[in-house]
């Protein structure tokens, strides 16, 4: 009786693991795909900038920021709006966001920041 009960318990546990495993792998697969898409966009932007010395940015849109207020965000991006930006300028924007997040996050890891260019619009995506 005890052996049957123990066997049934482990069988149920095993079946549960088999049923839940695809859900975990699907979630991981979607995160991997999203990361690959973000890297591809950033690589396209870098290739675009390699061919050009500077790119004109008329507008900057920031997405995914919850730990910084609007004043902090505007202080970072306002000097770069309606200017010709080089790759060094884009790196500076990245570093300014990382500095702004220092001390605001519980973990000491910097946020993941990706840049995308749509015409003259620079889109900054922050994953906190």
> Among residues of the chain, what percentage have pLDDT more than 70?
68
pTM for the structure as a whole = 0.59
pLDDT in tens, 86-106: 888 999 999 999 888 887 765
**Residues sharing a CB contact under 8 Å with residue 117, sequence separation 6 or more, in sequence order:** 45, 48, 55, 123
Asked whether residue 55 carries a pLDDT value surpassing 80, the answer given is yes
The CB density around residue 91, as the number of other CB atoms within 10 Å, is 11
- Ordered by start, the domain boundaries in the chain are 36-127
pLDDT band at 78 (very low <50, low <70, confident <90, very high): very high
The reported pLDDT for the residue numbered 60 is 96
Domain 36-127, what fold?
Answer: Ubiquitin-like (UB roll) (3.10.20)
Using only the alpha carbons of the chain, give its radius of gyration. Answer: 22
- Pairing assessment for the beta strands 121-127 and 59-63 based on DSSP bridges: parallel
Contact 12, 19 (CB under 8 A): no
- Over residues 23-51, the pLDDT tens digits come to 455 566 677 787 788 777 777 776 666 66
Task: Please state, in angstroms and rounded to a whole number, the distance separating the CA atoms of residues 58 and 102.
Answer: 28
Give the three-state DSSP class for 60.
strand
């Amino acid at each position: 009786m005890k052996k049957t009960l123990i066997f049934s318990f482990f069988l149920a546990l095993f079946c549960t693991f088999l049923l839940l495993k695809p859900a975990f792998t699907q979630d991981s697969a979607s995160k991997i795909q999203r990361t690959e898409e973000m890297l591809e966009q950033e690589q396209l932007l870098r290739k675009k900038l390699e061919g050009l010395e500077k790119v004109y940015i008329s507008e900057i849109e920031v997405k995914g920021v919850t730990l910084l207020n609007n004043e902090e965000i505007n202080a970072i991006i306002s000097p770069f709006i309606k200017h010709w930006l080089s790759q060094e300028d884009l790196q500076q924007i990245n570093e300014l966001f990382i500095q702004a997040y220092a001390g605001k996050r519980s973990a000491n890891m910097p946020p993941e920041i990706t840049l995308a260019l749509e015409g003259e619009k620079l889109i900054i995506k922050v994953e906190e």
